[in-house]
């Protein structure tokens, strides 16, 4: 059995993170010492690591709750449910990658505009392009 600090250390999180997941209904602390300290089992540690890894993959707390529900009661769920949750996250990541690719292309274009010499920035190509882009974006967002 682990106390909260030991559990947190094993999962590489803080005790406050464990308490947060408890408040979210994602973790329990059924066992306490006579002094009132929470005690956690190896199953609790595995659950915390599951949550932490899912967070690293960018799943929302709601999605993690659903995945935990499926994991805890697999007889009443299908693999399709888990796959759908992952598919939703994958689509989000693919969208983010597309946005990042556009950002990279724009930054490469800005970088190529500049001669990179040590002359004054009075007529810097990068600054001028950013000004044009700022004017364009303000107009298009109205």
Q: Are residues 102 and 72 in the same domain?
A: no
| pLDDT at res. 32 | 79
Length of the chain in terms of residues written? 142
Check if the beta carbon of residue 34 is closer than 8 Å to that of residue 40. Answer: no
Residue range(s) defining the domain that contains residue 30: 1-77
Q: Are residues 3 and 68 in the same domain?
A: yes
Q: Are residues 106 and 73 in the same domain?
A: no
**pLDDT tens digit sequence for 91-117:** 999 999 999 999 999 899 888 887 777
Measure the CA–CA gap between 47 and 45, rounded to whole angstroms: 5
Q: What are phi and psi of 119, to 5 degrees?
A: -75, 170
Q: Are residues 84 and 62 in the same domain?
A: no
Q: Are residues 25 and 85 in the same domain?
A: no
Q: Are residues 34 and 95 in the same domain?
A: no
Q: How many CB atoms lie within 10 A of CB 54?
A: 20
**pLDDT tens digit sequence for 35-72:** 888 899 999 999 999 999 999 999 999 999 999 999 98
The pTM (predicted TM-score) of the whole model is 0.76
Last residue of a domain, one of 21, 55, 77: 77
3-state secondary structure of 14: coil
pLDDT band at residue 129, thresholds of 50, 70 and 90?
confident
């Amino acid at each position: 059995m682990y106390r909260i600090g030991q559990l947190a250390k094993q999962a590489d999180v803080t005790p406050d993170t464990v308490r947060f997941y408890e408040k979210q209904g994602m973790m329990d602390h059924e066992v306490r010492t006579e002094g009132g300290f929470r005690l956690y089992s190896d199953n609790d540690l595995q659950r915390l690591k599951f949550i932490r890894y899912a967070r690293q993959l960018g799943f929302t707390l709601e999605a993690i709750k659903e995945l935990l529900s499926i994991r805890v009661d697999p007889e009443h769920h299908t693999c399709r449910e888990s796959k759908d949750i992952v598919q939703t996250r994958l689509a989000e990541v693919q969208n983010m990658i597309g946005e990042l690719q556009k950002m990279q292309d724009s930054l490469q274009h800005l970088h190529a505009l500049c001669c990179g010499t040590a002359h004054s920035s009075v007529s810097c190509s990068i600054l001028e392009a950013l000004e044009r882009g700022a004017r364009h974006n303000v107009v298009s967002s109205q």
